[in-house]
Structure 1
């Protein structure tokens, strides 16, 4: 019995290590299967992200916090192609695409170039071989100059000259095409231009309803055009009875028929106005015939045009002041003095001797100016020069007799060394006028987006404007005191 029990226990002991090893192997296999599943999930996520543009795809099995941070709309947006023609629509779609996918500035030109075709691709290849196109704004400017309307064509003037020559539907399309090229036109101005371009047979009927929007004016014009087409008599076949002239009802506005080759005249013997003169008088609210203010019940007075003609024949001759003609006169815009924002000015940050300054780039100022407050604070060296007049925006002339020579101004990576005239400024410490702008070759400026791009010694620079903040009241008080002193001194001299 003892030996048997010993043999049984001895035979069962060797099986225990084997079972333990089998269990360990099974656990490792389960772990490897789990790792394999995780790797497969990660591969699917990476593949989904690579297929989506700019990492904008949707990940199904990713961590919730990570997917929420990088989530984009499920639908995919294709970048528009451009092969030529008017580039405005393509530029608008491209900028929407860049904004949607948060495209970096250095990638915009490459992305756009990939989607150019035909004439646009040939033009880009030629321009890229001639110059380095780094910024999206440079590509837009090149496309607009080549494919857009002529540079000499003013968009505002082009809109004002629109006239209806066909149907109202065709006129609406042409008006929409031209109005899309202008910026920040008030609604009442657009309405006035639209009404002025209508045919005479529709203009009076539409105006009498006093529409308050272009949309309402278009609907009225379409209704009156349809009514006019219905009431217009159809062409009849030829018969001898049609040779008799039709009797026309009496109308006080009917013009007498002229049988000579002279220019058309009104019933007072004055030459008929051109379309440009009519438009000018309409904008001023003047009568087309006599030039007086037009209103309900207006009647042209006899002899008015003769008096106007007599006044126009008398030219006044103003002799210039010899002292003013011989003296150098600089100009500074009123926006530079008061610090008010203007569509043709731009403010950038800079430094003078590690001191932060606000610089106004102003094409309306002929010279460079520095705030006299900044001159005193930084103790800038000034030199006396022969006094000259500085004409400000309201026409007054203030004398200036000092100059700061060779002031180094640091703007980003660019150092500008210029001469500045001390002056009372509000809202800016320095004014860079035409004196500095004339030293640049070609400047690409966008005053709406507030940036300018130029090249100096083969290196390209970009100034990005900053928003104008509220001005301190002390600045304006100092300006008022200084202007009062200068005006008093000028009256005394």
Structure 2
């Protein structure tokens, strides 16, 4: 049996509005589109769909100017997910600010009562310290948690709707690892690609003319000075002098003597 004669499928489609998620609105739109599909041109499907979106999504979606209904649906879902992430972030930020305010008020109250009620002051400070848990993450720990898709605050799997059971105060460790040796700036450097002659994304080869001999020079951004092999100097009949005070840092932080 078909729909009643008094039904208006085109009007129902045009007046359809998003009241839930994009997924629900898309399903309702497709259901109502099946009946007047032959009456409405395909190029109008996207415009009708955009017109029924929630106002919080509609403007951003219209600015992106999707060419068809399929892309408009994908854009609407992405904007919805972005809003969900922003709401979660704002909720956490508000909770942290509220906890921080409570912490500051407790500490200030404890300072004002110093010397009057010693035992009560100590109790208030201990209580306020329990409201926040301080955790310091290094870059290595952050990389491990990101690789395992774990929350930075706890060891649970992270998702859009994830909420930590307790508030934490995270501090990123920006200190430099002292165990990594540094080569002094005044020490010349030569990269591994310059030694082996291998091509790399940071290297460039250019023709050169030395003593009427055609050579191929390797320009490497990883090297600080220009170098030439002892074999090439012999073939080009170049004068070579031995210098005692110049050493070159090469791959694996090794240093070799330099001939000029």
Both proteins in one fold, TM over 0.5: no
- For the pair shown, which has the larger CA radius of gyration, 1 or 2? 1
Relative contact order, CA 8 A, sep 6+: which one is greater? 2
* TM norm structure 2: 0.40
* TM norm structure 1: 0.24
